[in-house]
Structure 1
Amino acid sequence: MLEQLTFAFGITGPVLVLLIVGWGARKSGLISEHFIGEANRLVFNVAMPVMLYLAMTGRPLSETVDLRLSLVGLVGTLLLVGILFVVRHLVPDDERGVFIQGSYRGNLAIVGLALAVATYGNEALSLAAMYIAVVTTAYNIIAVLVLNARGALRNILLNPILLGILAGIMASLLGVKLPTVMVRSGEYLSAMTLPTALLCIGASISFRSMTTHLMSLSLAVVFKLILSPLLLVSLG
C-alpha cells in the first residue's frame, strides 16, 4: 500500500508543487494577471502545438495512433454529457451551462499530459496527442450545444493544438524531416510547455470565487473526479 502511495505521489507531486508555486507567485505579486494571460497564449498558440507536432513525428504513425483509446474517450464523454443533462436541474438555471461544461471538460492538454508524461515518459505524448485531438473536438462541439457558443466551427478549425497534431500526422505520413536546428529549437519550446502551463493554472486559482457557487462546484467536482474516471475506466 505504501509503495503504491509513494508511486502515485511521485507522479502527482511535481504537478501539485508547480500549481502551488504558481499560486504563491501570483499571491505574492511576483507575477501579474497580465503575465498569466500572455504566458497562456504563448503556450496555447506556440509551445504546445510545437510539442505535439514533434511528438507525432518522432515515432512511426502506427505507434502513435490508438483508435480504441480515442473511441473510449469519445464515447465516455458523450455518455457523461448525457448523464449531466439528466441531472442539470440540480443546479440553478443560470449555472447549468457552466456546470455541464465544467463537469465533462477535462484539462487534458496540460494536467493530463503532465501526468501521462510523468507516468509513462515522453513516449506517452504521441498517444495522448491523438486522444486530445478527438476528445477536444468533441468538447468544442458539445460546447456549442450547451453554451450556444458562436464561431465554434472556426475555433475548432483554427485551434492551434489541433493544427499542431494534424500537421504532425501529415508530416509523419509524408516522411517530412525538419532540419536539426529546427528540431532542437522545437525541443526547447516543448520543454517549457507543461511547466509554464501548470504555473499559470496555479496562478489562476481563486479560492474566494469557489464559495460563490458552492453547490454547482461541488457537483462538478464529483462528476469530474469520481464519476468521469469510473465511467472511462469501465469502458476501457
Structure 2
Amino acid sequence: MGNFLFSVNATMPVFFVMMLGVLFRRIGLIDEAFASGMNRFVFKIALPVSLFTQLCDVDFREVWDTGYVVFCFGITLLSVLVAVALSFVFRDKEVRGEFVQGSFRSSASLLGMTYIENIYGEATLGSLMMLGCVPLYNVMAVLVLSLMRPGSEGVDRKRLKAALKGIVTNPIIWGILLGFAWGMIGITLPNMVMKTTGYIGRLASPMGLLAMGAQLNFHSLGEKLPPVFLGTFMKLIGFTALFIPHAVFLGFRGEKLLAVLIMLGSASTVAGYIMAKNMGHEGTVSAGCVVLSTLLSSLTLTIWIWILRFQGLI
C-alpha cells in the first residue's frame, strides 16, 4: 500500500498540472501564442538548465561503472529499434515519429529520480543511468522526429543533414553534455549560481505541463487512440518485461536495478511533447502518451517494484 500511495503522490500532480493547463486555456488565461512561447522557453532554456543542474555536482569518478552505463545505452537503443519496427503497423505515417518517441522516452530525469531517492535516500547511481540513456533519448528523438516528419517521404541527404544539425544544436543535449563535463571537472559552482540555475530548471516541468494541457486537442486525441494505447503499453509494460530479466541476469541489484526499471517503465516524458511540437509535429500522440502513461504508471510501477522487492532484488 505504501508503494502505491507513493506512486500516486509522485504521478498524479503531473496529471493535475496538465489539467490546469486545459482549464486555463478554456477560461482564456492561456492562449495558443502563450502556450507556444512557454514550449519554446522550456525547450531552449528551462529543460537544458534542469538537466545541467542534476548532473553538474555528481562525482562520476567515484560511482562510475562502465558495464552499467553501456547496458543502459544498449537497451535504450534496442528499445528505439523495436519501437521503429512497431510504428509501421500504423497506416497514418504522421503518427509514427511521435509513437516511437512516446514508446521509448522516459521521464527518467524528472519523476524517475524521485522514485530512487524515496527508496534509497539518494540517487547517485541514478545519474549513471541518466548518462547511459538520456543523451541517447535526445539524439534518437531528434533523428526520429526529423526523419519521420509529417508529409515526408523516404530519407534524403537534405533531411539527414538537417537531422544531424538538429542533434548538434539541440539545447537539451548541450545541457546534458555540459552537466557531465562540469561534474567530471569537479569544480563546485557558487551557491548563488546553483540557486539561480535551480530556480530556472524547476520551471521546466510545470511550464511544460501547463503548455501541453493548453495545447491538448481532445478531438484529435480521440482519432489517434491506437498509437497512444500501444505506445503507452510499450512504455509501461512491454520494454520492462523484455529487458528487466536481462538486467537481473547480469547481476544488477538494488539502486542499479531500480534505476533500470525507472528508465524502462516510468511515464513518457513531457520533454517528448515539447520536442515534437518544436520540430513540426502535431503533438497529439505525444501528449496522449504522456497523459495516459502518467495516469497508469502509478499502478504499473508499483506492481513492478513489488515484484522486484518480493524477489529480494531491490
Query: Taking structure 1 as the reference length, what is the TM-score of the superposition?
Result: 0.80
Give the AA of the match of 2:168: L
CA contact (8 A) 1:44 1:160 kept: yes
Q: Name the residue aligned to 1:182.
A: 193
With over 3 angstroms needed to count, the CA separation of the structure-2 counterparts of 1:16 and 1:94, relative to structure 1, is closer
Q: Name the residue aligned to 2:273.
A: none
Q: Name the residue aligned to 2:164.
A: 153
Provide the rounded CA distance (Å) in 2 between the counterparts of 1:211 and 1:56.
39
Query: Taking structure 2 as the reference length, what is the TM-score of the superposition?
Result: 0.62
Which moved further from structure 2: 185-194 or 153-162? 185-194
Q: Name the residue aligned to 1:120.
A: 116
Provide the rounded CA distance (Å) in 2 between the counterparts of 1:23 and 1:101.
25
CA contact (8 A) 1:22 1:201 kept: yes
Provide the rounded CA distance (Å) in 1 between the counterparts of 2:197 and 2:98.
37
With over 3 angstroms needed to count, the CA separation of the structure-2 counterparts of 1:18 and 1:34, relative to structure 1, is same
**Which residue, out of 239, 255, 261, partners 1:228?**
239
Q: Name the residue aligned to 2:135.
A: 133
Which moved further from structure 2: 57-66 or 28-37? 57-66
Give the AA of the match of 2:111: L
Deviation at 1:21, TM superposition (A): 1.6
With over 3 angstroms needed to count, the CA separation of the structure-2 counterparts of 1:50 and 1:135, relative to structure 1, is same
Report the number of matched residues.
232
Which moved further from structure 2: 153-162 or 164-173? 164-173
Provide the rounded CA distance (Å) in 1 between the counterparts of 2:35 and 2:95.
28
Bigger relative contact order (CA 8 A; separation at least 6): 1
> Superposed, which structure 2 residues align to 1:1-236 within 5 Å?
2-62=1-61, 67-68=66-67, 70-84=69-83, 86-92=85-91, 94-95=93-94, 97-98=96-97, 100-106=99-105, 108=106, 111-121=107-117, 123=123, 126-127=127-128, 129-130=130-131, 131-143=133-145, 146-147=148-149, 148=155, 149-150=159-160, 151-236=162-247
Provide the aligned C-alpha RMSD in A.
Answer: 3.0
CA contact (8 A) 1:77 1:104 kept: no
Structure 1 runs not aligned, ≥5 long: none
Provide the rounded CA distance (Å) in 1 between the counterparts of 2:63 and 2:36.
32
With over 3 angstroms needed to count, the CA separation of the structure-2 counterparts of 1:82 and 1:160, relative to structure 1, is closer
With over 3 angstroms needed to count, the CA separation of the structure-2 counterparts of 1:78 and 1:143, relative to structure 1, is farther
Deviation at 1:89, TM superposition (A): 4.9
With over 3 angstroms needed to count, the CA separation of the structure-2 counterparts of 1:195 and 1:65, relative to structure 1, is farther
Provide the rounded CA distance (Å) in 1 between the counterparts of 2:104 and 2:114.
22
Deviation at 1:81, TM superposition (A): 4.2
Provide the rounded CA distance (Å) in 2 between the counterparts of 1:200 and 1:68.
38
Deviation at 1:214, TM superposition (A): 3.6
SS across alignment from 1:211? helix
SS across alignment from 1:170? helix
